[in-house]
């Protein structure tokens, strides 16, 4: 095994991005393959605190998570060519790309039909609008790729992020959606109190506005956020619904307390429908979400509860 160092002993550990919001990267063997990163020691993750009992600690953790990820995004704006070079050298390519999302959106009408939901007129146009979140190219940011609340440690000094398997540059709105949905692709999903949700979104938005001042305009921010949330909801619907058609399943095999997949799906559909209906945005997609709620009414699952610290 041949480990290629990325930092000599007399140098500080090399971090591709600026700051100390991820593990330092010490070396790599591309043939094995193996990477060596610093040991962060013991600290709670955001998930640990969200599943705990201390409401103040959970709130502080949410804000630290949002600020840390927002600052990471802002600090790495303009460095995509550098990232692409490193990705090409060390590979592989990001596993969530535009083609993957296009396949999800293109297959939604057939998926709805299989679920006994009639695709509303105008759905294709709405889905085309949703997919603009990938190709407008206006606000790209570096993202670790998986922003779930267990992919970090909250040390004494700052948020430390890990799990960069799906790291890429993509629209800032795809990460921003995690602050309000919350956690678009994750298992640790309960409802956030409205005030905590607003504070979390504002903390992330404040940081990324330093790189993209136009994001301070609600006419830019709100539509982008809705389209990103719609894209993530479509993805999770197609991924999760087939797994729970016959019976419900817990969102995590061992962590408790945790909601069920059916609870999560119905929450996602209800939340997105309300967001779209309140603005008149993407009306056909909102109607599709209502259709999914109607055909799963017989599930008779309780509403998604608040995170434990706020129950």
CA–CA gap between residue 187 and residue 303 (Å, rounded): 16
Question: How high is the pLDDT of residue 31?
Answer: 76
Is 159 in the same domain as 11?
Answer: no
CA–CA gap between residue 236 and residue 300 (Å, rounded): 20
Question: How high is the pLDDT of residue 145?
Answer: 85
Question: For residue range 171-209, what is the model confidence (pLDDT) as tens digits?
Answer: 999 999 999 999 999 999 999 999 999 999 999 999 999
Mean pLDDT to the nearest integer, 41-66 = 94
Is 33 in the same domain as 109?
Answer: no
* Three-state SS at 34: strand
* Three-state SS at 201: helix
Is 35 in the same domain as 53?
Answer: no
CATH number at residue 154: 3.90.1200.10
Is 233 in the same domain as 297?
Answer: yes
Is 159 in the same domain as 267?
Answer: yes
Say if CB 108 and CB 238 are below 8 A apart: yes
Is 29 in the same domain as 90?
Answer: no
Q: Which residue intervals of the chain are DSSP H helices?
A: 46-50, 55-75, 80-90, 98-106, 108-114, 123-135, 172-180, 194-209, 218-240, 261-277, 283-295
Residue with the bigger pLDDT between 107 and 24: it is 107
pTM for this structure? 0.88
Is 143 in the same domain as 54?
Answer: yes
Is 140 in the same domain as 180?
Answer: yes
As for how many domains the chain has, the answer is 2
CA–CA gap between residue 45 and residue 163 (Å, rounded): 13
Say if CB 263 and CB 191 are below 8 A apart: no
Question: For residue range 226-248, what is the model confidence (pLDDT) as tens digits?
Answer: 999 999 999 999 999 999 999 99
* Three-state SS at 248: coil
Is 26 in the same domain as 53?
Answer: no
Which among 243, 241, 235 has a CA at the least distance from the CA of 296?
Answer: 241
Is 30 in the same domain as 105?
Answer: no
Mean pLDDT to the nearest integer, 271-278 = 98
Question: How high is the pLDDT of residue 161?
Answer: 87
Is 155 in the same domain as 216?
Answer: yes
What is the band of 255 on the pLDDT scale with cuts at 50, 70, 90?
confident
List the single range of 39-48, 88-97, 194-203 with lowest mean pLDDT.
88-97
For 6, the domain range is 1-39
């Amino acid at each position: 095994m041949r480990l290629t160092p990325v930092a000599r002993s007399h140098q500080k550990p090399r971090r591709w991005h600026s700051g100390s919001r991820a593990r330092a990267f010490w070396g790599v063997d591309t043939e094995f393959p193996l990477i060596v990163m610093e040991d962060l020691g013991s600290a709670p993750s955001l998930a640990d605190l969200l599943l705990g009992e201390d409401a103040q600690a959970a709130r502080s953790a949410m804000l630290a998570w949002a600020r840390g990820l927002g600052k990471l995004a802002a600090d790495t704006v303009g460095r995509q060519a550098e990232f692409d070079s490193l990705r090409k050298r060390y590979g592989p390519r990001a596993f969530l790309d535009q083609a993957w999302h296009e396949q999800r959106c293109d297959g939604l009408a057939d998926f709805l039909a299989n679920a006994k939901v009639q695709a509303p007129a105008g759905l294709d146009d709405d889905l085309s609008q949703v997919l603009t979140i990938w190709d407008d190219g206006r606000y790209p940011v570096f993202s670790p790729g998986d922003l779930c609340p267990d992919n970090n440690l909250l040390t004494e000094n700052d948020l430390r992020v890990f799990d960069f398997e799906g790291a890429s540059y993509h629209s800032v709105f795809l990460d921003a959606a995690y602050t309000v949905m919350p956690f678009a692709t994750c298992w640790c999903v309960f409802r956030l109190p409205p005030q905590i949700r607003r504070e979390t979104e504002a903390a992330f938005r404040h940081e990324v506005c330093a790189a993209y001042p136009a994001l301070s305009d609600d006419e830019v921010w709100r539509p982008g956020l809705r389209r990103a949330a719609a894209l993530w909801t479509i993805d999770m619907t197609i991924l999760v619904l087939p797994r729970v058609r016959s019976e419900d399943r817990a969102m995590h095999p061992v962590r408790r307390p945790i909601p069920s997949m059916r609870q999560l799906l119905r929450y996602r559909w209800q939340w997105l429908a309300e967001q779209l209906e309140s603005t008149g945005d993407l009306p056909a997609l909102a109607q599709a979400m209502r259709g999914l709620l109607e055909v799963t009414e017989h599930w008779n699952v309780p509403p998604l509860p608040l995170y434990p610290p706020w129950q």
